[in-house]
Structure 1
């Protein structure tokens, strides 16, 4: 079988099977949200952990088709559909650990058949275990915790980590032709003083979003995702100083990356997020919070800036 045929099957079979199973099962709104989280988790972590697997010599992909972190885009999406959607839907009827075993058996049977697309190393089984623990299992737990509205702190941590990887790692990776080697070479080729200053500034810019997530969990009892938003209006902690610390922090971090790598595509991504945040997201947020919290939100909105820190209380 040719590499192109393997990629087509790997892309369409999991997607179509997941869609069919989703239509057959009764999926609640919370379960749909959990499926979305699980798919995004898989999309965020698969290229990162696959890069480690290739570096360790567990396997490599040999294809001329576009890749992200060494992973062909077709397999990236298909794998995310298999582990992020199909596996989670199966867990509605089967125990979580049985689903993990089933997915592992599928990989153990299928991966040796993917030649010439996939070249396996002698210890590739360790890579399989590595991805099960780092990608499949957290995705399944994230789906279950979301569907059952449990483990708020843990699921918010996974959600935040997934979105951070998508925005701050995969965007720069894609901007550097999807190659870890190119990205890491560009990262380490800067003078030491630039590396130190960038690391310090990135750490400082990361503090407001982290503090914001903490307030959402502890005070608001919700996540940063609008469909899973806090139950209470959060005006404490970092929110006493700025209304949008997460959007501000992520946007500034992307601009920092664009400047560090001197890459127009990362800058375009930052500008796109900024335009979206100032446009649709701002309108949607104001409409939703006005409906849910009324005067409390309006008073808070009038007193606290959206994208700059208020120095005086």
Structure 2
């Protein structure tokens, strides 16, 4: 009811379509309700795996569904996938698989090793330098950029592929600022060493190790013939 009154008052600036109620219900179910649960879990510092998973699912829907749709609505194009050759589908599958592995590995390491998430309002308690983060500093941004390039190539839409530039802008404008004002303050020496050793975009061939492991063998229980 409130939405109906609001839409009516905004005419002709905003005109509600015939399916506006469905749109409101969809947004309520997929954005409003999950956000309420996420805020509650974050405030109480509980259910970290669910918080991390919910953020990953919501971001995937935003970056691979909503954002490309908005780009195509503004710049042209559409979700026309009928009749596309099999090699395009194979390329999309491989590209998204690589992207998802990178992104989900980052989410896992932040939750398991860092005891937090990627968002500043729910930060990690420890500096994460292992796993995928031992190869690259910004795996999530790399994952998003690869996804947009792959989806743009699949749909033959240069504007979606160009959205990968946003990942670079995000790193330059937001991520670096966050690192300076958060990670550098909380982990001054560890962050400086990690930043100097691990690149932002081009992964290392070998992981950067900050500590060595020692294997201890107890031979007292060994049996010999």
TM-score (norm 1): 0.56
Residues 28-79 of structure 1 show CA distances to partners (whole Å, capped at 9, x for unaligned) of xxxxxxxxxxxxxxxxxxxxxxxxxxxxxxxxxxxx99xxxxxxx887xxxx
Question: 1:311 offset after TM fit, Å?
Answer: 0.9
Whether 2:14 is the aligned partner of 1:9: answer no
1:272 match: secondary structure? helix
Greater helix share, structure number = 1
Whether 2:166 is the aligned partner of 1:169: answer no
In the alignment of these two chains, the number of paired residues is 201
1:175–1:263: 8 Å Cα contact kept in structure 2?
no
Where structure 1 has 5 or more consecutive residues not aligned to the other structure, the ranges are 1-5, 14-63, 66-72, 76-115
CA distance in 2 between counterparts of 1:225 and 1:216 reads: 10
CA distance in 2 between counterparts of 1:195 and 1:281 reads: 33
Whether 2:58 is the aligned partner of 1:157: answer no
Q: After TM superposition, list the pairs within 5 Å mapping 1:1-313 onto structure 2.
A: 9-10=6-7, 117-118=18-19, 137-177=33-73, 182-183=78-79, 186-313=80-207
1:176 match: secondary structure? helix
Question: 1:198 offset after TM fit, Å?
Answer: 1.3
Question: 1:280 offset after TM fit, Å?
Answer: 3.7
Q: Call closer, same or farther: CA 1:205–1:282 in 2, change over 3 Å.
A: same
Max Rg structure: 2
2:95–2:146: 8 Å Cα contact kept in structure 1?
no
Residues 180-229 of structure 1 show CA distances to partners (whole Å, capped at 9, x for unaligned) of x941xx23332111111211121112101100100100110111112211
CA distance in 1 between counterparts of 2:173 and 2:27 reads: 38
2:148–2:160: 8 Å Cα contact kept in structure 1?
yes
TM-score (norm 2): 0.76
CA distance in 1 between counterparts of 2:54 and 2:159 reads: 27
1:216–1:234: 8 Å Cα contact kept in structure 2?
yes
Where structure 2 has 5 or more consecutive residues not aligned to the other structure, the ranges are 208-225
Matched with 1:21 is: none
Question: 1:118 offset after TM fit, Å?
Answer: 4.0
Q: Call closer, same or farther: CA 1:140–1:287 in 2, change over 3 Å.
A: closer
1:7–1:74: 8 Å Cα contact kept in structure 2?
no
Residues 113-142 of structure 1 show CA distances to partners (whole Å, capped at 9, x for unaligned) of xxx83499xxx9xxx6x8876555433322
1:202–1:256: 8 Å Cα contact kept in structure 2?
yes
1:259 match: secondary structure? helix
